[in-house]
Structure 1
Amino acid sequence: MNKSLEELQKEYEESAARLEQEKRKLRRLENRKAYLESGSRKQRNHRLITRGAAVESVMPEVKILTEQEFYSLMERISEWPPVQNMVRLFIERHSQPPASEKDGD
């Protein structure tokens, strides 16, 4: 029942080695999580930048607006019924399968 000092020392060293392995494993998992999250963040940033650039390309006048003025303008545009209908139409088209899939091709 009583373990010798050598046995206890050996158990301690094995436990310390396992602890270090688990710490390394946890660091790898945390790095992987950060990598995956940054990927989605990069995709979002890319989407926001390209869409903002698209707005400026079709309405170059908005470049002079402050951020608050721009948001106010976008809110007013989004409240306009023809724009709401058009957005709804595009969303519906996006969620429907292509015509070739409907016909069984």
Structure 2
Amino acid sequence: MVKQKTIPELEAEKAENERKITQLQHKKQQLENRITYYEKGDRRKRAHHLITRGAAIESVAPLTKVFSETEFYAFAEKVFSLPEIKGLLMQAINEHNIAEQKER
């Protein structure tokens, strides 16, 4: 036969369960915060990457600073569609891949 618990025992059990719930809620919040932190980190890395690339273009070709965003994109499309540029880009990518394979 199962022994019935007294009211103080039930209240103690309830308090313990509420404490466990609170701990689990804190643990869940910590994990959600960690996810947010890593997602923000990825966005920050991407933003930094884009900013440094844009700065590099402006330092190599300072006249591009006068372009609006639309004008700059149109200019970049024209430049990167030139056969000579496509060839140089592919050559640079191949050299990068070869160097990367040597490092491994």
Quick one: structure 1 residues 99 and 75, their matched pair in 2 at CA, closer, same or farther if it must change by over 3 Å?
closer
1:27 CA drift (Å):
1.4
Percent identical: 37
TM-score (norm 2): 0.81
Q: CA deviation at 1:10?
A: 2.0
Distance 2:84 2:42 in 1: 32
Structure 1 residue runs of 5 or longer lacking an equivalent are none
Name which of 6, 9, 17 aligns with 2:8. 6
Q: Which residue of 1 aligns with 2:74?
A: 72
Paired letter, 1:26: K
Counterpart in the other structure of 2:27: 25
Shift of 1:79: 1.5
Tell me the equivalent position of 2:51: 49
How big is the shift at 1:99?
Answer: 8.8
Bigger drift between 52-61 and 32-41 goes to: 32-41
CA-to-partner distance for each residue in 1:32-89, whole Å, 9 max, x for gaps?
2222222222221111111111111111111111111111111111211221222222
- When the two chains are superposed, the root-mean-square deviation of aligned CA atoms in Å is 2.2
Number of residue pairs the alignment of both structures matches: 102
Offset from partner CA, 1:8-35 (integer Å, 9 cap, x none) = 3222211111111111111111222222
- After superposing on structure 2, the runs of 4+ consecutive aligned residues of structure 1 that deviate more than 4 Å are 98-102
